[in-house]
Amino acid sequence: MQSGYTGHIVAAEWRWVILVGTALVLVAFAPFVWITVRGNSQESWQFMGALHNYPDGATYLAKMLQGGDGRWLVNFQHTPEPHNPIFIHVLYALLGRVSRLISVSPIVMFHVARVGAALFMYLAIYQLGASIWMRVRTRRIFFALASLGAGFGWFFASLSGDPSYPDLTTSELFPFQSTAANVHFPLALACQALIASSIILAFRPGKNEDPTLNNGGAAVALASFVLVLLYPEASVLVAGALGIYVAIYCLNRRQMVMWAVRWLFVAALPAVPSLILYLAFLTYNPAMAEWNRQRVVQVPNPLVFALGLGIPLLIALPGIYRALRRFEPDGDQFMLIWLLAMVVAAYLPTSLRVRFAAGIMIPVAYFASRSLEDFWFQRVTRRWRYRLFVVVVPLMIISHIVTLFAPILPVMATNSPGRSGLFLERDYAAAFQWLDEHVRPADVILASPNVSLWLPAWVQARVVYGHPAETLQAASKRAAVFAWYRADDGFDCDALLEGQYAFQGLRYRVNYVMMGPQERALGATHTCVSGVRFVASFGSVSIFVR
């Protein structure tokens, strides 16, 4: 079977994909399971519910809480200002509704959805490989490279001390890492793979069919609609690459090829309403515009970016060169345009930058697979192929291992959960429960940054500073929180409480103040606490009201 040929995916292949995909999911979840068990065994510490990229994970849980209350448009609960609801991360509002419907906690729902999204992504990646190659061996090579490919960031970061390599910092570029981050990254990559699969089949030489329900047209439309909700930047890149592809296709034939244009419409039009709404919110909602300004992720220099793609990119070079030289109107042409569009867009002077490269390992793996079959296997004997396989595969996945286990290393090394932001003292969990029963969604709570990160994920209320992107004017508010807890005589304690750090006149007023181990760790003096009234205490954590 491994070296056989088939025009479709047989049952044995699906079993193989499900088995391998399940194994990859179990590996990706191993650190989370360990940290969860570790947290449950701690008498004085509480694991807060998210592991990899936990600051963003806390914001997703906060949006799920709002979705559970029946909302589709959500607010940034990690900032104190009242603002108009926002069209963002609709998936998490939906998951919140589902969690309320089936009576499970948002944290459980979040991680169950992660499992489903990961398995669906692996199935979609294999479907793409099967749409391109009839040979089962090549399909599996593509699946392995796309799913597990990563770069040399682990090596060069250890030498230079610079951790900015994409394979260590940008999980949406790499399918395996995306499954550890959240729900929408793997789903977005799955949608990209499904769109590419249908497009490559539709434009295969000799085919000239209009999109229909039976030939992938409906799948492209649905995947396009879902993709723009999950990851608008990726939706723009896929549609843009297809637009360039169709334009070149028509120019080569010196006529408007209407069936090709219809495929472009099917891929692009379903995303347009949501994309227009998203852009309108970015333009006219000040809170969302500020969020977009603060979430800039700088793209590294081209050499660092290439090193972050590592061995798969090196293997792919002959295939990329062949595609550039021949520029054939098949899968090569579309994948090349898509790959180049990602790279160019990542270096445009916009706030989105590297987010445009989401899923870049898919086209890289495509060219790597073609290079292996058409170039490298022709120059390497069968005996040496397996020897190189034993060396190359471990080198290719080291960055995944590093990023997978890095969040739990502080806990393992120091035997102190409190050294990481993954845990809070267990008294805070009891305080959160009390707050959830007494506060209103519009109430504002002042606490340390670590506590404020998790508060909106557990309590329907807002905080003064909780997240570097979702807190409006985050830097000034973070500094103000530190200054408030460190204040000595003569400090204006009321400035922060009365909303003098508000964003663009969106006034707020602090209703509750927390004082616990995390807050005491901010400074030796706590003069400002004397100006608020004590209402409740839970071990080492006290709650005050104004």
Task: Work out the number of other CB atoms within 10 angstroms of the CB of residue 509.
Answer: 13
The last residue of one of the domains, among 407, 437, 459, is 407
Same domain, 374 and 429: no
Identify the residue with better confidence: 112 or 417: 112
Q: Decide: 275 and 232 in contact? Cβ < 8 Å.
A: yes
Same domain, 450 and 537: yes
Same domain, 401 and 487: no
pLDDT recorded at residue 2 = 47
State the average pLDDT over residues 35-53.
84
Same domain, 265 and 375: yes
Same domain, 282 and 321: yes
Whether residue 418 lies inside any domain: the answer is no
What string of DSSP letters covers 145-184? Answer: HHHH---SHHHHHHHH-----HHHH-GGGSHHHHHHH-SH
Same domain, 430 and 490: yes
Is residue 325 predicted with pLDDT exceeding 70?
A: yes
Instruction: Give the closest residue to 375 by CA, choosing from 329, 308, 314.
Output: 314
Identify the residue with better confidence: 419 or 238: 238
- Give CA–CA dist 407/386, Å, rounded: 33
Give the count of alpha carbons within 13 A of 461, CB side only. Answer: 28
Same domain, 441 and 402: no
Whether residue 80 lies inside any domain: the answer is no
Same domain, 260 and 349: yes
The last residue of one of the domains, among 354, 381, 407, is 407
Same domain, 157 and 292: yes
Average model confidence (pLDDT) for the chain?
91
The last residue of one of the domains, among 407, 442, 470, is 407
User: For tokens 């508060």, what's the residue?
Assistant: 455
Whether residue 100 lies inside any domain: the answer is no
Residue 437: pLDDT band (50, 70, 90) is very high
Which token pair is 341?
Answer: 């569009």
Give the count of alpha carbons within 13 A of 363, CB side only. Answer: 26
Whether residue 505 lies inside any domain: the answer is yes
Same domain, 403 and 429: no
pLDDT in tens, 68-89: 999 999 999 999 999 999 999 9
Whether residue 419 lies inside any domain: the answer is no
Rounded percentage of the chain residues whose pLDDT exceeds 90: 70
Whether residue 151 lies inside any domain: the answer is yes
Domain count, the chain: 2
Q: Decide: 198 and 334 in contact? Cβ < 8 Å.
A: no
Same domain, 400 and 461: no
- Give CA–CA dist 58/432, Å, rounded: 14
Is residue 3 predicted with pLDDT exceeding 70?
A: no
Residue 415: pLDDT band (50, 70, 90) is low
Rg of the chain in Å (alpha carbons): 25
- Give CA–CA dist 187/226, Å, rounded: 9
pTM for the predicted model, two decimal places: 0.93
Strand pairing category for 444-446 and 462-463: parallel
Q: Which domain holds residue 501?
A: 425-545
Q: Decide: 541 and 514 in contact? Cβ < 8 Å.
A: yes
Same domain, 313 and 233: yes
Whether residue 19 lies inside any domain: the answer is no
Which token pair is 322?
Answer: 């062949």
Residue 516: pLDDT band (50, 70, 90) is very high
State the average pLDDT over residues 424-447.
93
Looking at this protein, which amino acid is placed at residue 277?
A: L
State the average pLDDT over residues 464-491.
91
Residue 1: pLDDT band (50, 70, 90) is very low
Residue 416: pLDDT band (50, 70, 90) is low
Whether residue 117 lies inside any domain: the answer is no
pLDDT in tens, 289-321: 999 889 887 788 899 999 999 999 999 999 999
pLDDT in tens, 228-247: 999 999 999 999 999 999 99
